[in-house]
Amino acid sequence: MRKGLFRTMAWTNIRNNRRFYVPFLLTIILTAAMFYNMCSVSQNPAFTGKEAIAMVLAFGVYVIGIFAVIFIFYTNSFLMKRRKRELGLYYILGLEKRHISVIMVWETLFLASSGIAGGILAGLLLDRLMFLAILKVFHYPVSVNYRIDPFAIRTTLLVFFAIFVLVMLYNIFSIQKSSAIELLQSQNTGEREPKTRWVIAVLGIVCMAAGYYLAVTTDNVMDALTKLFIAVLLVMAGTYCLFLAGSVALLKMLKKRKKYYYRTNHFVAVSGMIYRMKQNAVGLANICILSTGVLLVISTTVSLYAGMKDIVIARHPTEISVTFSDSSPGQNQLLEKALAETAEEIGVTLKNYSSYQSLALTFVERKNALLADSEVENPDAVSYDELAAVTMISADTYERMTGEALKLTDNEVAVCHEKGKLEETFQMMGETYTIAENLEKFPVSNEMARMTSDWYNIVVSSDEKLAEIDKMQKEIFTYPSSLRYEVQFDVEGGEKAVNALYDRLLQKLDETEGMPLYLVGNRYEFRTQNYLMYGSMLFLGIYLGSLFLMATVLIIYYKQIIEGYEDRDRYVIMRKVGMDKREIKRSVKSQIIILFFLPLGTALMHCAVAFPLMRQVLQAFYMNNTLLFAGVTVIVAGIFSVCYVLVYSITARSYYHIVS
């Protein structure tokens, strides 16, 4: 009988507070469904053997798991804060703490069972859709078979059950700890005006400025990758500090300016905002950082995915390329022979054929000289800004590829570069060279150029000179490079012909004796791999992005409602004192708008500042199309903003409903 009573009480509690519990339950269902899906997809036998994908997807499972813990706890604390008063009342009415604990257990049981069951059910329904979507973005040809994954179900049950046990223990513990009076008054405590914390405010400004400075000034890819991490940490710290202390400091400064403060539209807004910021700073900073993360992750992964064509062309200008390292002319001839034979066997013709020998080196550029790593005193301390990527070919190769003859004597060179600092006469590995000619175009691509701030494409006088330089660099460099012989060509007959030729050529080279170190590139295979790699990143990006968006939505919703209840009394008083309904509505609106659009605005600003840095990072992945990246970023930001505004307007309605 008594047990039944507590169960009924728990059920009534949930029903009476459904304004709070329904969104919470929906969140649990969605999070559990997403967890199940990610788990089941990562376990799908279609991906066995694809380590990279399995890893990315498994990473996704962990992220969602951790996120679920944080998020359910966060929401629970919202709910508990509101409920303490009612629990205190039970206590006064004669329920013992252990009875209240029993009610809590029942409540958790109701919530957890319906949430987890609903989540797994939704997960099962969505599973097929998810898998189809994945195959679509991966360009991965596999038949879809619908399956129920018992492992994923078990994991989901276990993880979420554990989370709820923790939540329940936490709730019971916090009730055991507090007295009845505390429970009853918990909602009326702590309306103190916050103090201005100047140190934190200043720290916030410094962190933010430093992070922004890093993002804007970095101008080479290697630096970008390392500095990205530091910049992210700095900006995160700066965001928290500024939201926490900076906002209050600013508002208090406004309050001190009496002429400004004591004006009808500033008075209520400024003092109201001080309290709102005090209560919401952390939540708002969370929203801001989540939003920034969503925007950056989605815009970069979408750009990588959308720019795949460009990336593939940049990496593989021709359909097939063969690279020999430090090969002899005899070996080069063997390659050409093997190639001609293979083409004949398969019955395809080659086109756009070109072959050349080149030497690619990375130098430290100092005082008009190109230095090898061993020539610098402390090579580990060299900054990436000092590096120059150099690609060299001979005048003969140049003439063969472009049809243009260059007359160069022994130490004369022709140079093609964009922004290098070398003067007409310069040093390279101790020897002096003179620039005889500046070239507009260069027939060979400079692979390392996108990683360093300076780059030079150099034509030296002869093949012998190139061999001489190669010999020299092998002696001087601690990590020497090799002279490369490269053959590039397209194949008549498209992808099928290319793949057939590629397979046969590999076989042939493998069979041939006395081959040097070689590398065969196939544009289509590269493309397939990239689709898998960037596809799984895109998938994860969008998946986590929508998860974060959901979190943002829920935080906004709860904030609105709680604000609403707190503000109601305040506006009743203001009305009595002589503030009119329209003024109240206007003042509420402006505060709420500032409050909820501050994180979005800041997130957009972060993204704008991060843009140059992210562009560099993308270049590390051969994605050079800045315009595409800009376009994608703008579209992603636009869609995100629309979602945000939508959520705002829906929740704002329930807020006004409470206030008026």
Under the binding rule (CB under 8 A), the answer on residue 272 touching other proteins is yes
**CB burial of residue 179 (10 Å; 0-12, 13-18, 19+):** exposed
Radius of gyration of the chain from its Cα atoms, rounded to whole angstroms: 33
Q: Indicate which single residue of 3, 15, 256, 258 sits in contact with other proteins (rule: CB under 8 A).
A: 258
Phi, psi dihedral angles at 658 (to 5 degrees) = -70, -45
Q: Which is nearer to other proteins, 170 or 267 (CB)?
A: 267
Q: Indicate which single residue of 404, 410, 431, 580 sits in contact with other proteins (rule: CB under 8 A).
A: 580
Q: How far is the CB of 259 from other proteins (least distance, A)?
A: 6
Under the binding rule (CB under 8 A), the answer on residue 579 touching other proteins is yes
Q: How far is the CB of 253 from other proteins (least distance, A)?
A: 16
85-99 burial code (b ≥16 CB/10 A, e <16): eebbebbeeebebeb
Q: Which is nearer to other proteins, 19 or 575 (CB)?
A: 575
Q: Indicate which single residue of 275, 442, 455, 629 sits in contact with other proteins (rule: CB under 8 A).
A: 275
Q: How far is the CB of 564 from other proteins (least distance, A)?
A: 16
**Across-strand partners of 321?**
488, 521
Q: How far is the CB of 258 from other proteins (least distance, A)?
A: 5
Q: Which residues have C-beta within 8 Å of that of residue 287, sequence separation ≥ 6? A: 552, 555, 556, 599
Under the binding rule (CB under 8 A), the answer on residue 627 touching other proteins is no
Neighbours of 331 (CB within 10 A): 16
Q: Indicate which single residue of 170, 267, 524, 597 sits in contact with other proteins (rule: CB under 8 A).
A: 267
Phi, psi dihedral angles at 347 (to 5 degrees) = 85, 40
Under the binding rule (CB under 8 A), the answer on residue 192 touching other proteins is yes
Q: How far is the CB of 660 from other proteins (least distance, A)?
A: 15
Side-chain half-sphere exposure of 329, counting CA atoms within 13 A: 3
Segment contacting other proteins (CB under 8 A): 66-74, 187-195, 214-222, 493-501?
Answer: 187-195
Distance between CA 215 and CA 196 in Å, rounded? 29
Segment contacting other proteins (CB under 8 A): 77-85, 117-125, 188-196, 369-377?
Answer: 188-196
Distance between CA 392 and CA 76 in Å, rounded? 64
Under the binding rule (CB under 8 A), the answer on residue 256 touching other proteins is no
Under the binding rule (CB under 8 A), the answer on residue 441 touching other proteins is no
Q: Which is nearer to other proteins, 176 or 660 (CB)?
A: 660
Under the binding rule (CB under 8 A), the answer on residue 96 touching other proteins is no
Pick from 27, 635, 645: which is nearest to 295 by CA? Answer: 635
Neighbours of 598 (CB within 10 A): 19
Q: Which is nearer to other proteins, 60 or 272 (CB)?
A: 272
DSSP helix/strand/coil, 521: strand
Q: Binders of other proteins: how many residues, by CB under 8 A?
A: 24
Distance between CA 258 and CA 247 in Å, rounded? 18
Under the binding rule (CB under 8 A), the answer on residue 262 touching other proteins is yes
Under the binding rule (CB under 8 A), the answer on residue 588 touching other proteins is no
Distance between CA 80 and CA 82 in Å, rounded? 5
Q: How far is the CB of 299 from other proteins (least distance, A)?
A: 40
625 is written with which tokens? 């199309």
Q: How far is the CB of 566 from other proteins (least distance, A)?
A: 10
Under the binding rule (CB under 8 A), the answer on residue 182 touching other proteins is no
Distance between CA 487 and CA 477 in Å, rounded? 26
Under the binding rule (CB under 8 A), the answer on residue 574 touching other proteins is yes
Under the binding rule (CB under 8 A), the answer on residue 577 touching other proteins is yes
Under the binding rule (CB under 8 A), the answer on residue 269 touching other proteins is no
For residue 411, give the DSSP letter: T
Encoded amino acid at 40, one letter: S
Alpha carbon distance, N-terminus to C-terminus of the chain: 42
Q: Is the dihedral of CA 544, 545, 546, 550 positive or negative?
A: positive
Location of structure tokens 């990375």? 362
Distance between CA 118 and CA 25 in Å, rounded? 9
Q: How far is the CB of 279 from other proteins (least distance, A)?
A: 11
Q: Indicate which single residue of 56, 224, 274, 540 sits in contact with other proteins (rule: CB under 8 A).
A: 274
Q: Which is nearer to other proteins, 251 or 389 (CB)?
A: 251
Distance between CA 65 and CA 31 in Å, rounded? 9
Q: Indicate which single residue of 178, 271, 331, 546 sits in contact with other proteins (rule: CB under 8 A).
A: 271
Q: How far is the CB of 595 from other proteins (least distance, A)?
A: 15
In the stretch 391-430, what mask flags binding to other proteins with x, by CB under 8 A?
----------------------------------------
Q: How far is the CB of 271 from other proteins (least distance, A)?
A: 5
Residue 269 falls in which region: left (phi positive, over 0), alpha (psi -120 to 50) or beta: alpha
**Across-strand partners of 483?**
359
In the stretch 203-222, what mask flags binding to other proteins with x, by CB under 8 A?
--------------------
Where along the sequence are the contacts to other proteins (CB under 8 A)? 191-193, 258-259, 262-264, 267, 271-272, 274-275, 570, 573-581, 583
